[in-house]
A and B are shown apart, each in its own frame.
Chain A
Amino acid sequence: METTILLDKWKTAPDVDEIMAHLRKQIEERHAGGRYGRDELRRETALWLSEVMGGPAPGESALHHYLDTIGEWRMQLHPNFSTHRGRIGRLFVWLKKRVLHPPLRWIVEIVEVNAWRQDRLNISLLNLLEEMALEIGRLRARLDRLERPKIDGPDKTSP
């Protein structure tokens, strides 16, 4: 349907899915038509990077998932207060919590900022790797589609 007809229709009966599809098509057309200048591309890339570096929550990404299954990889700063000593162990846990925890906290606070930076860098790099893997996958699929007719198209259909 022509844009003007759609715009007229939406003035009385707006349809969210239809409008979103229309706007997404416009964005795609602009990308495909190469109408983004260098500045626009740089801006898009910078924003994309900032989103990826912020990253998904742990567990949402496939790479995080695989790393979780092969072992510990996240920085861990919380003290472990568990015990394997049964009833007597409770006394040890109590001592750890009441006596060891305050100085431990003090040390943790000193290293925490650096550890947090390292943790963030780890997560960001993983997110970037995953996004790049996705992009490569997408481009490879597109390349396959484009190259297929050249490889097996004309021979099979020609008499």
Chain B
Amino acid sequence: MKIAFVIHRYGVELVGGSEFHCRRIAEELSARHQVEVLTTTASDYITWQDGYAPGLETVNGVKVRRFRTERKRDLAWFKDISDLCYYDKRHTRADELEWVRLNGPESPELVRFIKDHQAEFDVFIFYSYRYYQTYFGLAEVPGKSILVPTAEEDPAVGLSIFSEFFALPAGILFLTPEEEDLVGRVSRMGLPPSEVIGFAVDVPPGLDPEGFKERRGLADPFILYIGRVDRNKGCDGLFRYFQEYLKWKARPVDLVLGGSAALPIPSHPRIKSLGFLSDREKFEALQACRLLVMPSPYESLCIVVLEAWKSGRCTLVNGLCKVLREQTRRSGGGLYYYSFAEFCETLDFLLDNPEIRDALGRTGREYMEENFEWVHVVGKIERLIARTIPTR
């Protein structure tokens, strides 16, 4: 089978949930099928600044075809049109289409390629409903397209053009049952057949968590946050809670951050920022920590939480994020909090009860092994394709 993955940006060095998800799935499927990735030359997720040359290249054994973007994202224009479409009821369908165009990355060349070369591919897998290439590209080949929406509970999902759009593809791959529920609620015309695939995690062999702690000057015990240090990820709330927790409890525990910072990090002796971590370091940090804390209020699938469970570490997540809360309850791999009082109580409980903490981590790992090995993920994708796309 010849499969095309269509995504806004693609590359080993890119940090981003949907980009990483797409790349790993394309790599796994390339062992059994002919895979080609159709993407843009953009590398920056805010401005769509070019970081790659147009044309063909091979990334980790997968053929990647990049197309030029017409322009960088105009942030002022995009902010205006977002305000208009999200909050002003007088906006029109044309405004929403303009929103998609301004959201970008605008690459008509990529959409034209899909239209002109559709006969060469058996199936197109489109990533992220909100971007230009997915909205306009999928409309060219609805009968042989699978959509991976990566939808979150934010205002964009409520735009009226998407309520029709979600009924368009032949099939949908959801990351979690909560995402399926969300998209089902906003789709006015019902949904095509779908599967919930989640994600599989590979833990690199031969990790050295003790060496990692020594190299990075970390002391026991510490709790870990991994990801972009950003207000959108709930990090400002985490800083507030953690500092108040320390004042209240006077407990010797550090908060270690792994990820680039888009937010000033408080200068506190017990908050340590390591900056960007390589894949190997990330898993070493996970094995070295007491637990992973994830304060994000918006997630469609939090890969680092799955990575923590696969590493046998328990998690403490923001209960206001339905995806994180329900996934935690399903997996049995951690606890969640809604308020400062619950943050303190759950954190104390997990730090004071190492055997229960380990048992939660073990349960999380078993959940991953039973549900999210590559054989399950790839099997579900192939099953959906077989059910929905007519064979050539």
Residue B312 interfacial (CB < 8 Å): no
| Chain A residue at minimal CB-CB distance from B341 | A27
Q: A38-70: which residues lie under 8 A (CB-CB) from chain B?
A: 40, 43-44, 47-48, 50-51, 54, 57-59, 68
Residue B88 interfacial (CB < 8 Å): yes
B356/A76 in contact, CB under 8 A: no
In the complex, what's the smallest C-beta–C-beta distance from B247 to chain A, in angstroms? Answer: 8
Interface size of B in residues (CB-CB distance below 8 Å): 38
Q: How large is the interface on A (under 10, 10 to 19, 20 to 34, 35 or more residues)?
A: 35 or more
Contacts of A27 in B (CB 8 A): 341-342, 345
B345/A40 in contact, CB under 8 A: no
B353/A44 in contact, CB under 8 A: no
A78/B329 in contact, CB under 8 A: no
A50/B240 in contact, CB under 8 A: yes
B88/A19 in contact, CB under 8 A: no
B87/A74 in contact, CB under 8 A: yes
A16/B83 in contact, CB under 8 A: no
In the complex, what's the smallest C-beta–C-beta distance from A112 to chain B, in angstroms? Answer: 10
Chain A contact residues: helix, strand, loop or mixed: helix
Residue B199 interfacial (CB < 8 Å): no
B355/A11 in contact, CB under 8 A: yes
Contacts of A10 in B (CB 8 A): 353, 356, 359
Contacts of A77 in B (CB 8 A): 80, 83
Contacts of B88 in A (CB 8 A): 76, 78
| Chain A residue at minimal CB-CB distance from B350 | A19
- Which listed segment binds A: B254-262, B266-274, B332-340? B332-340
A47/B241 in contact, CB under 8 A: yes
B87/A16 in contact, CB under 8 A: no
Residue B155 interfacial (CB < 8 Å): yes
Contacts of A16 in B (CB 8 A): 328-329, 332, 334-335, 360
B342/A23 in contact, CB under 8 A: yes
A78/B244 in contact, CB under 8 A: no
